[in-house]
């Protein structure tokens, strides 16, 4: 990047958020009034008025290419495969020194696409570790990102000033920045996010099978089932994008998980009380330690 290109601080930046769903609109709520301007990009004509009326942006538009050309910071808050298309389409339209940050849940493919952009565009991979099962503008809220981990994956070519702007945004919304390489990110989120979705979906699928012969299973389901299956109600389109763009890491995590579940099954099948107790005790301790760490932040 040309050293003479100016990248402003967040308060002076025109921020464009592409995608006014849960993540994009929530970000808009936090940034509006604290940046020079916050513009939301939507897909449907009727969504322009809806988004502006919500108060999460200063203005909304259907014309992504026009607004990204003048933006200092563009945030892509859309499904992963849509992000990949938008990087290729919108990235080259950005002005010299424009910073392009995504919020997708799989980073290897996205960072590869960011690295292929023209030299004048500053790409930074990102992933906020938060969300809800409900999606859309109506589900958005101020403060969604507070205290969440926000992974950042700068590219080798990302200029310090560009990364500083991305990090300033993360700090401003009261999230905790965590720098990770893309492949490491994908392996970790496969374990703590993508596999839990698949396992919850598998659990609900199993209960659906039980219900075919005894529908009373839904009546006896209580907090344990609710907590274990909660993420199975997540937006399927979004999760399909995530699973398919992080396929190999999720498959590896699934194979390992099945192996560990089989170990527990084998101990139970063999009535090996000592072995089963040791395994479950270690698991319970790890879960409690994680909860203590989480609450200390």
Each residue of 148-161: pLDDT tens digit? 999 999 999 999 99
* Final residue in a domain of this structure, among 147, 162, 180: 180
Q: What is the pLDDT of residue 1?
A: 55
Q: How would residue 234 be classed by pLDDT, with cut points 50, 70 and 90?
A: confident
- 217 in the same domain as 122: no
Would you state the structure tokens that stand for residue 185, as one six-digit string?
């990110």
Tell me: pLDDT of 2 over 70: no
* Final residue in a domain of this structure, among 151, 180, 209: 180
Range of the domain at 78: 10-180
Rounded distance between C-alpha atoms, residue 97 and residue 72, angstroms: 7
In a domain, 104, yes or no: yes
- CB 103 within 8 Å of CB 26: no
- CB 110 within 8 Å of CB 83: yes
Q: How far is residue 96 CA from its own chain's centroid? A: 27
Q: How many domains does the chain have?
A: 2
In a domain, 272, yes or no: yes
Nearest-Å Rg of the Cα atoms of the chain is 22
- 147 in the same domain as 96: yes
In a domain, 204, yes or no: yes
**Mean pLDDT, residues 110-131:** 95
CATH number at residue 54: 3.40.50.720
Tell me: pLDDT of 26 over 80: yes
Tell me: pLDDT of 55 over 90: yes
Rounded distance between C-alpha atoms, residue 80 and residue 72, angstroms: 22
Q: What is the pLDDT of residue 43?
A: 94
* Final residue in a domain of this structure, among 180, 215, 248: 180
In a domain, 159, yes or no: yes
Rounded distance between C-alpha atoms, residue 48 and residue 45, angstroms: 6
- 59 in the same domain as 111: yes
Q: How would residue 237 be classed by pLDDT, with cut points 50, 70 and 90?
A: confident
- 237 in the same domain as 166: no
Rounded distance between C-alpha atoms, residue 116 and residue 12, angstroms: 28
Q: What is the pLDDT of residue 295?
A: 84
Q: pLDDT tens-digit profile of 179-231? A: 999 999 999 999 999 999 999 999 999 999 999 999 999 999 999 999 999 99
pTM of the model: 0.90
């Amino acid at each position: 990047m040309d050293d003479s290109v100016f990248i402003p601080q967040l308060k002076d930046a025109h921020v464009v958020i592409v995608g006014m769903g849960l993540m994009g609109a929530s970000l808009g709520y936090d940034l509006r009034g604290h940046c020079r301007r916050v513009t939301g990009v939507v897909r449907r004509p009727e969504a322009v008025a809806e988004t502006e009326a919500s108060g999460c942006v200063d203005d909304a538009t259907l014309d992504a290419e026009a607004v990204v050309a003048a933006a200092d910071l563009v945030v892509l808050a859309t499904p992963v495969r849509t992000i990949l298309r938008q990087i290729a389409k919108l990235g080259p339209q950005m002005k010299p020194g424009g910073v392009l940050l995504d919020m997708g849940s799989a980073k290897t493919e996205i960072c590869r696409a960011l690295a292929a952009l023209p030299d004048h565009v500053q790409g930074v991979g990102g992933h906020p570790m938060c969300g809800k099962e409900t999606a859309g503008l109506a589900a958005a809220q101020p403060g969604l990102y507070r205290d969440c981990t926000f992974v950042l994956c700068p590219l080798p070519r990302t200029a310090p000033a560009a990364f500083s702007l991305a990090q300033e945004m993360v700090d401003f919304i009261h999230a905790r920045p965590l720098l990770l390489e893309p492949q490491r990110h994908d392996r970790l989120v496969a374990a703590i996010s993508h596999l839990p979705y698949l396992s919850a979906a598998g659990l609900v699928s199993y209960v659906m099978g039980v219900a075919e012969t005894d529908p009373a299973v839904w009546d006896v389901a209580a907090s344990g089932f609710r907590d274990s299956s909660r993420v199975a109600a997540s937006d399927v389109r979004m999760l399909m994008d995530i699973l398919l763009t992080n396929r190999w890491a999720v498959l590896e995590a699934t194979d390992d998980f099945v192996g560990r579940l089989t170990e527990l099954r084998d101990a139970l099948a063999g009535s090996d009380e000592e072995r089963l107790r040791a395994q479950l005790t270690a698991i319970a301790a790890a879960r409690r330690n994680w909860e203590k760490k989480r609450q200390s932040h």
